[in-house]
Amino acid sequence: MLGWWRSRGNAARFDLFVRYTFYLSYVFLPPLLLLGFANEVSTVALVVLITTVLAYTAVSVRLVHLGLEYNLGRTEFPRRLLIAHAIATCVVLVTGQLVYPDPVQGKPDSPGDGITVIFLVLAITTYSAVLRPRTLVLIALAGGVWAFLTAPLGNAFFLSLMLQFLVAAFRSTLWMLKIVWELDRSREVRANLAVAEERLRFARDLHDVVGRNLSAVALKADLAAQLARRDRSSAAIDEMLEVRQIAQDSLDELRAVVSGYRTADLTAELAGARSLLASAGIDCRVIGDVTFTGEPAGALGWAVREGVTNVLRHSEARTCTITLRGKVLTMSNDGASPAPFRFGSGLTGLHERVAALGGSVTATPEPPNRFVLTVELP
């Protein structure tokens, strides 16, 4: 159960909280109605009332679910079910007042007044998940008018205020739910854009450096083939020698591009990690200072870059801490995925690079929801 809860993102958790806020109304209010009427109505009437409440509650829960999905843009407006529910509400309210118009002996209100209170509260709760605020306010006002026409003045006034309060409370909660989901989608989009931007940067550099030379190789090779067909072997040999030189130059430039991509300035990478994670809504703290340069600093810079990429792509982290003590780098975040962990191509490449310097890489999840990447250089 705890693992299921941790596997859900923050938006999904808040979504669940909002739904249960609606559903709990149907758990507590109907039993209060039935217990209050147990000694005031006949057994047959109580059975009919229990059946009505159960059916009304089932339809209400379904309408709340569809209303929330509609407000989140996941389904169509539940028009037919809403109309049926509204008709059922009116029928129950009118029937309650016709069957029980007079107060019970020793009490200021009648069972019909109790039916009015409970079913109006359930109706406003249900419609808060479906209708717009203006429409809800009008329905709540209509419910207040009905209460003033049928119930004692004090009870009617209290019920009117309660209906308006329910409208404000439930609609504000639903508004916050929509904002939370929108922020969650924006965070995912920003993370994907950050990763895509990094890929595009490398692709652009690779194209600019190697693309021209590859075009030259293709052109020279075609020219050499044409010369060979014309029995101009000497010129063809010269062209192929130029192709070989261009290929060698391209290989050197490609190595320089790859080396430049993988060799990162540690100080710049730490600053970039702060900025990139902040843009994705993740609080990043850096503990320690850079006290060395050269290949070790470049290796740890690449570790920072790989770690940040993994945080953005594979976690639901809210915080990330980067600790640098000498030549030991530790990256810890609180968004570990519940799925089994395995080394990907990025961490494999990092391990190879660090191993070449005599160092080690460990990447392990830690309960309850942390993931720790440690890179240690000799």
Ordered mean pLDDT values, 10 residues apiece, the chain (378 residues): 67 87 83 73 81 90 93 91 94 89 74 85 92 92 89 84 91 91 85 75 59 66 80 79 78 68 70 74 85 82 81 81 90 80 70 85 85 90
What distance in Å separates the CA atoms of residue 10 and residue 189, rounded to the nearest whole number?
16
pTM of the model as a whole: 0.58
347: amino acid identity, one letter: L
Per-residue three-class SS string for the chain: CHHHHHHCCHHHHHHHHHHHHHHHHHHHHHHHHHHHHCCCCCHHHHHHHHHHHHHHHHHHHHHHHHHHHHHCCCCCCCHHHHHHHHHHHHHHHHHHHHHCCCCCCCCCCCHHHHHHHHHHHHHHHHHHCCCCHHHHHHHHHHHHHHHHHHCCHHHHHHHHHHHHHHHHHHHHHHHHHHHHHHHHHHHHHHHHHHHHHHHHHHHHHHHHHHHHHHHHHHHHHHHHHHHHHCCCHHHHHHHHHHHHHHHHHHHHHHHHHHHHHHCCCHHHHHHHHHHHHHHCCCEEEEECCCCCCCHHHHHHHHHHHHHHHHHHHHCCCCEEEEEEECCEEEEEECCCCCCCCCCCHHHHHHHHHHHHCCCEEEEEEECCCEEEEEEECC
**131-135, long-range: CB < 8 A, 24+ apart:** 131/67, 131/82, 133/167, 133/171
Per-residue three-class SS string for 287-309: ECCCCCCCHHHHHHHHHHHHHHH
Which distant-in-sequence residues (6+ apart) come within 8 Å of 323 by Cβ?
287, 288, 329, 330, 331, 332
The alpha-carbon radius of gyration of the chain (Å, integer) is 34
- Nearest partner of 267 among 287, 295, 296, 297, judged by Cα: 297
Q: Would you state the structure tokens that stand for residue 261, as one six-digit string? A: 């991509």
Strand-pair partners of 374: 330, 362
pLDDT on residue 260: 56
Which distant-in-sequence residues (6+ apart) come within 8 Å of 326 by Cβ?
291
Strands, sheet with 283-287, edge to edge from the N-terminal-most edge strand:
283-287, 319-325, 328-333, 370-376, 360-366
Domains of the chain: 2-183 (no CATH), 194-262 (1.20.5), 266-376 (3.30.565.10)
pLDDT on residue 6: 67
- Nearest partner of 195 among 88, 280, 129, judged by Cα: 280
What distance in Å separates the CA atoms of residue 168 and residue 133, rounded to the nearest whole number?
8
pLDDT on residue 303: 84
